[in-house]
A = this chain, B = another copy of it.
């Protein structure tokens, strides 16, 4: 797909690592161990994959120094081949950037401060008082609300909506359809008037090097800010409610929901389709398995889960009925124990 190619020497220089083989051997793409061709580079992420090298046709292989004897072709030797693969992936990115400057179809308020090196694509709306940092790219159709601040070297893909008074740190990536700073779900119940809206007066602060997937929603705070600390990664279709605080380096997979005022620690990994209750605290280094419903705070690091295993429907139906009788079953066992 890419029209870029790099020699073994160039790649070793880029990774600052040793190599073995023909310095001028060139590759023009990355591929998996099974699919890589002569013109492509691949990597051995874990020792268990080393046997796949027997049938590998890659032009260059990235692997640990300890495994170098397992491949006689061109080698890049690094301690962490998976990380090296991530670093190399950047070289082969094919998405064309928008040109530097503001596309004439975009509507930019007079008081907005757009860096001279920023790239504002077509049909954007940038409201009053906005600040956009150096080398930041705003994709087509994005809206950035009044007084919001976007740092340097950010990339907002097409059709992102940023509300007013949102701040986004440097080196952040936000994918299409994502909404940053929408109102939290706050209403006071009233017999006469129904739900009375609590206007959401807090903001949303996102640290640096945060990546947010597509069609995700992160609400602004009711009184104080919603906060996403630096280095957090968030996948698609994630809901983060008002007043949530997500600690540094935490990873949140697709379809997760986090209810209001919850604090999640640093370096947590939250698998897909997890739902986390409001007003609770999750410690650092907690892992939730996919689909877990988290009703209470977690004070100890570790792995947690809640879901029942998938079963064929006949078996599931019988076991489900028993589930609704569990307390009764436990009483019957207790009675048996007494009588024995």
CB of A29 within 8 Å of the partner chain: yes
Are B95 and A259 in contact, with the CB atoms below 8 A?
Answer: no
Are B215 and A179 in contact, with the CB atoms below 8 A?
Answer: yes
For the complex formed, measure the closest distance between the CB of A291 and the CB atoms of chain B, giving whole angstroms.
4
Are A306 and B304 in contact, with the CB atoms below 8 A?
Answer: no
Interface size band for A: 35 or more
Are A213 and B90 in contact, with the CB atoms below 8 A?
Answer: no
Are A323 and B326 in contact, with the CB atoms below 8 A?
Answer: yes
Are B290 and A275 in contact, with the CB atoms below 8 A?
Answer: yes
User: Inside 8 A of A165's CB, which chain B residues have their CB?
Assistant: 1, 94
CB of A67 within 8 Å of the partner chain: no
A311 touches which of B197, B224, B251, B306 (Cβ 8 Å): B306
Are B322 and A295 in contact, with the CB atoms below 8 A?
Answer: no
User: Inside 8 A of A313's CB, which chain B residues have their CB?
Assistant: 289, 302-305
Are A304 and B295 in contact, with the CB atoms below 8 A?
Answer: no
CB of A249 within 8 Å of the partner chain: yes
CB of A132 within 8 Å of the partner chain: no
CB of A17 within 8 Å of the partner chain: no
Q: Which of A8-16, A46-54, A68-76, A236-244 contacts B (4 or more CB under 8 A)?
A: A236-244
Bound: A338/B175 CA distance, A = 60
For the complex formed, measure the closest distance between the CB of A227 and the CB atoms of chain B, giving whole angstroms.
14
CB of A114 within 8 Å of the partner chain: no
CB of A44 within 8 Å of the partner chain: no
Are A326 and B319 in contact, with the CB atoms below 8 A?
Answer: yes
User: Inside 8 A of A25's CB, which chain B residues have their CB?
Assistant: none
Known contacts A295-B290, A312-B303, A333-B336, A123 near B121 by CB under 8 Å: no
Known contacts A161-B159, A177-B177, A217-B236, A145 near B95 by CB under 8 Å: yes
Bound: A175/B161 CA distance, A = 10
Bound: A103/B125 CA distance, A = 11
A190 (CB) vs chain B CBs: closest residue: B83
A302 (CB) vs chain B CBs: closest residue: B312
For the complex formed, measure the closest distance between the CB of A147 and the CB atoms of chain B, giving whole angstroms.
8
A220 (CB) vs chain B CBs: closest residue: B95
| Contacts A219-B236, A323-B323 supplied; 11 other A-B pairs, CB < 8 Å | A103-B107, A107-B140, A123-B125, A187-B251, A236-B239, A239-B272, A254-B259, A259-B272, A277-B290, A288-B310, A329-B333
